[in-house]
Every structure is written in C-alpha cells, then in structure tokens.
Structure 1
Amino acid sequence: MKMKNLEKFSGAIKRCVAIAMASMLFATTGFSLDTHPVKAQEVSSSADKIEIPEISKDAFKKYKKISGIGANTILGADFTYYQQCLEWGKSYKNYMSQSVDNIFDYVKSQGINTISLKVAVNPTGENAYLSLENAIKTLKAVKASNTNLKTNLVLLYSDEITYAGTQNLPADWEKAEKEEQSVTRVESAKTYTRETIAKLKQANVLPDIVTIGNEVNWNFLGITDGEGWEGWKAMGDISALLKKEGVKNAVSIAAQPDAASVKYIVQKLGYASVDYDYIGVNVYPDNNTNSYIKSLKNEVESCAPDKQLIVSNVEYERVNEANTANVYTQADSIYNLLEATIDEKNGMLPFR
C-alpha cells in the first residue's frame, strides 16, 4: 500500500514542515515513533480552509504529559526530504507561524531525539531526493548542530521507496543477476552495504542506527520463494556486517493484518540470525490503529522481550472532520497514538 498522494497547494502555507512538529509541544522526551514529512509544496488538498492556530505559547496545554515516556524511548522525525526543501528555498515555521532559524535545535527542543533518513541505491528523476549524497549532507548538518540528536539511516535496497507489496530490486543488480550467474542479489546487497558504510565513515557521519529495508513483507530483495527465507538470511548477513561496525540495527516490516503474526516474523528473524535491536512497523492509520499498535507491542514483548518496537513511519491527515486543516488535527492523532501505546516497558534499549 503506497502513501496517499497529496495534491499541491499554492499559497502562504507552502512551508517544508514535518508532520510531528505541531505535536511535539506536549512531550519532553521520546516514544518509539517516526513521523513522515509532508513534501515542501504539499498540504492536504481536500480542506475547505486553513485554520489559523491559536497564537499562544499555551495553545498545547490541553495535552497532558504522557506517563511512561523515558530517556530510552525514541521519538523520531523523517528528514528524507530535507535537502530537497533547501533546494526549493523552503523555510520552517513553528505552530505559531514564527520562523525557525535552526530546525535541528527546534525539533530537539520539542522532544524529537532521532532524525531518520531513507536512502535508495541509485535513485534518479523524482526519486533523486533519496540519494546517499543528500543523506550525508543532512547527517553532517545534524552533527554540526551540536544537538546530540541520534540518527537512523533506512537502507531501501532499491532505487525507489519500497512498500509491502513492492520491493523492486535496483536496476543494476537485476541486470547483473541476469547477465552474470555468479552475481546474486544477496551478494550485491552485502557489497552495497559495505560500500555505503565506508562512505559514511569517510564522511565521519556513521549513523547510530541502520534500518535494513523498508516495509518488508516476507519479500526482502524481492525474494518470495519459501516465505522469503533467503531474504531473511540476507538480513542476517547484513546485520552481522553492521554490528562489526558498532552500528545498532533495525528491521522495518510491513504491518500484518493480525498483530499476532509478528510472532512468526520474529521467529524467522531468529532462525536467520538477524542481530537486530529494533523492529519497526509502518502504519497507515485507520480507526483501529491505536488498538492495533498496542496489541502489536504486546506481541513483540511476549516473544522478543529484548527488542524494542518502533512505529517506523506514520502519516496522519492534516484535515479534521470539519474538513479544515490546522496543526491540531495531526497533534490530536499523534498524541492519541502515543497515549494508547506507551508504557514503562516501551523503551528497553538506551542509546549510548
């Protein structure tokens, strides 16, 4: 399932903003959540009007601090589009429409503790924003900000964004596999991982976490035979490479229809010796999202108590039931998700 496409909106609201920003005013630390940014020129298209938020520093006092949030949890924002935003000359503003001079200082002050970036193998055209070069620029900017923000690099192992049913192999890997029988997609993936880590080390921006794949659904690297067993094994080999570099691992899986199914995925990861610290799930919200994530968290705790569940991506509409766009719409949605799923067990693995 692909992210819902949002039509372009022209006007004063053309600002590059992360969905989470309006909601961070109620949290002082993090939760295992990573929000997906709206493109710089995009706002939800179906709104009849844009509602001006309450211009007051007290506007978000209605949100009580959520118990269970601790220093070991993760609250992330996806900055994959950041370099593209800079190229377009977009600027950042807070919920009171005040200019934000340093976006990294700002998100840190609002509770964000982790910046996430997605990277494709050889992205071109409209996917060019997914380049490793862009990610390195952003990682350098995060480091230069001296905010101590952690970083999570999501390796897509594709030339484009991957989804549950779409794990397209990079064009060059597919060609090499067809033309040279000795070159397998698994070998290409391991070589790519080594080369990427080398480039990150050379730039002195090795991330705190590397996520292996995005929204994998028994089909990592497009491998589906035997419930994707060779794909799970490839994840194990890649995790071993990353651990040697001292990088924490995460795996990003597709949300299964039944939360209990995560047990079978955890089992596969164990059989394949995937040495991961975090298991992330991408969420496409509906009326059952909060209860589903709570069930999913309980299932992970029951079968993998040493792992931490992360909502690795979530995108909420900016339009409320009155067909009006404002900062509170997403703030309410994200707050309710946090409140429904956080407890003291949520944060298990501290960053060091």
Structure 2
Amino acid sequence: MKIVVPMAGRGSRLRPHTLTTPKPLVKIAGKPIVHRLVEDLAAMSDDKLEEIAFVVGDFGKEVERELIEIAESLGAKGKIYYQDEPLGTAHAIYCAADSLDGNVIVAFADTLFKADFTIDRSQDGIIWTQRVEDPSAFGVVKLDEEGVITDFIEKPQEYVSDHAIIGIYYFKEAEKLKAELKYLIDNNIMNSGEYQLTGALENMKAKGTKFKPGTVDHWLDCGNKEALVHTNRNYLDFIKDQDLISESAKLNNAVIISPVYIGEGVEINNAVVGPYVSVGKNTKISNAVVQNSIVQEYTVIAKVNIENSVVGNYVNYVGRAKDLSIGDFTSVKE
C-alpha cells in the first residue's frame, strides 16, 4: 500500500500561521496535521505501508526532512515530489506519477477524519464522502440503487446530491488513474482553469472502474483559525484515553482540566489550562487561564485569559484577555 498526499498549497485562509509554516505542518494535539492524517490512513489498511509520497511546493529542505521522518515513523519510505504551479487536483496527484501503481490511497492534506473500518481491497476504488447541508461548496457524487457511484459533480449550484467528497480516495490499480491524469494534462482538458481529478474519475468510470462510497464518522476542517480550534477540540476528545501530558512538563500550582495535550519541556505556573488546550514543547504559561486553544512551541504566555485562540511559535504574549490568532515570532505586551 502507498499513500500520496498532495499538499503544495500554503493555506492562505490560515494566515498568519501559514506565513512561516505550511498548513499541513501546523500542529493539532502536538502533531502536524499531515502526521495525524497519514497515521489514520495507515490504520485503515491491513497491508504493510510501503511508501508515503508528499507533493509539496517550495517549502524548503527542513520541511522535506520532517515529512520523510513522518513516513519513517510509520515504517514507510518517504518520497518528495514537487508541484511548481497550482494547476488543480489532477495535476497535483500526477506530480507523483512515479508512485501511482498498485494499491494507492490519495489524501489531500486539507482535512482530518475519524472512521472505524479497514479498506475493502476487493473494490476497484473507494471515494470517501460525508453528507452535508450545503453541497454547493463541495464536489459531490450520485449513487445508483446498488450504491455504486454514477456521477461526479463539482460544486453543484442546483441540488443533485448531498454526498460531499472529503478528499480521500482508494485505487486498486492506480496505473489506471495515472493514465487518465496524463490524458487530461496532455490534451489540456481543464475546468475553471484547472485540471480536475473528477475528470479523470469520470473517464475511469466510463471504462469500467466501479467506485463505491466510503463514509467517515467525523470530517474535520483545518482551513481557518476557527476550524483549527474546533478540530483540535475534537481530536483531543478522540485521543483523550492516551497519555497526553509529557513527563518532562513542569506543573507548579497548575490546574489542568482534561482533555489537554502538554508537550515536552512545558512549564505551567499559577495557571488554569484546559479543557481542550494543546500546548507545544518548551512553552511557558504563568498567571493565566487558557481554554479551548492551541499554543504552539517556544512561546511565553503570562497574565492573560484566553479562549478559542491560536497562538504561534516563539510568541511572547503578556497582556489582557483576547480572542486571538497570533502568528510566529510575535511579541505583545500590555
């Protein structure tokens, strides 16, 4: 089994945090979004995970090394491919053409999910969906009476289906996908100025590939600050039975309200932290109340009362209560 993760976009809706960190590497409950994603994908398969291929932009060698380490932590080989221009979903996947053979999961690093199943490898292909109230914002699928996907529709303006595609796909023979992606690009077949994956899926379906829908229990967005805080909250609920407080954390006169994640080297003095708070390594919190928030690494927070907030890395924040989204290397004092 291989996993291909297109993740070249920087995530403009999550600025200022993505000005210094690519969105898939922003941390949720102590791990990058993309790390959480591939962990959950690996758990879906009974097969050995051979390779994780990441399709990136110009993120730099340090980011690439981190991605390789994520793959290796799951016992897989990591590969890096590049998408130099944002030319659509089909183009992004085709950038990893050399990895498109055999059993492959394609997962866009925009969202996280939770589900309780393993992949049925007898299926030609599986496209994971979830029912939504407003299908016009998503690509959707239509199903026949036997539960086979009959149509793919990009952001329908009139109601045709509420089964939204969440961006995770399984292909039994990824060579067929590669051939159809190549066909779109070689013949310059675009939709709204981009090469769309749904075009390749339609061609595969027309040639006999049967796609079945898969469903997830939870589909979690990481697109903006509010969504990131909500996803952190949900993820902490999912993993609350794990030991989420590092042994190296120093807690002095601290009230910790679970679920929380507290990383290595964290110091908390005269403070209330939680519920639903993630604190990155070597961060210091004192004389503060922090609830339902993400505080990243090497940050200092003092004399504040914050909630529903995201505070970046290397931030020095001393002041009054706010609903915050503060990027890396910021200094704020009252």
TM-score, length-scaled by structure 2: 0.29
Relative contact order higher in (CA < 8 Å, ≥ 6 apart): 1
Q: Which is greater in Rg?
A: 2
TM-score, length-scaled by structure 1: 0.28
Higher helix share: 1
